[in-house]
Amino acid sequence: MNPNLEPKVRSLVNTHFMEAEADVNGFWNAVLNIYFPTNTLDFITAPEANPKVGSGSRTDLLVRKYTYGANNTVTRRPVLLYEGKAHNGENMDAIRAQVSDYLKNLGDLKSQEKCWVIGARGREVSFWCFTKGVGGKDPLEQWGVNVKDHKVGPMATKVSYDVLNNFSSQSRISWLPIVQYFHDHPLGP
């Protein structure tokens, strides 16, 4: 992401922009459109996406990758699911449970396929990797940046980042490499 955006992110946070759910979701929609641009229709970000046809539940944003074939055929594959809350909304454990339920019911995702997940609560953000149909194992794995070697990968403990304090690539722990990793590996690790 453009480092020149840091002053704008700081301004948004300092003016309490990251408090209402709509604003939190708007910020992340902008971020996702930087990393998963929609201008070529290879990625489409669906707001209020219904994970399963006929289900009443909806996720805030669902990024899908589209592949276009001969005879006007199109296939789509979920790449990233995002769920956001206001700064005083449900906690990360509740968000985690909510996205896990969404993804278990996501019809576009086949067994053993992966989908990235971002959960945000105001300025707080967490990242996960979901694997569909893993049996008795937890399908949602926490992801983050290892502070020792600065590599993105699975984490043994819960990790959250602050949108502003962990924004700069100069920060000891930044969430930017995680989103970049998701971009570089859209179908999972």
CATH of the domain at 156: 3.90.1570
Report in angstroms the alpha-carbon separations of 144 from 6, 117, 126: 20, 12, 8
* Domain count along the chain: 1
Q: How far apart are CA 169 and CA 59, in angstroms?
A: 29
Domain-embedded: residue 74: yes
Question: Mean pLDDT score of the chain, rounded to an integer?
Answer: 87
CA nearest to 187, candidates 134, 125, 110, 86:
110
138 within domain boundaries: yes
Residue 17 in any domain: the answer is yes
Residues 104 and 132: their CA atoms lie apart, in Å, by 6
pLDDT above 70 covers what percent of the chain? 92
How crowded is the C-beta side of 71, counted as CA atoms within 13 Å? 0
Place of tokens 């019911």: 105
**Average pLDDT for 61-76:** 94
Domain of 143?
3-184
Segment 102-116 shows an average pLDDT of 86
- 169 within a domain of the structure (yes/no): yes
Report pTM: 0.91
Q: Are 142 and 126 in contact, with CB atoms under 8 Å apart?
A: yes
What do you get for the CA distance between the two ends of the chain, in Å? 21
Band of the pLDDT at 12, cuts 50, 70, 90? confident
Residue 189 maps to a domain? no
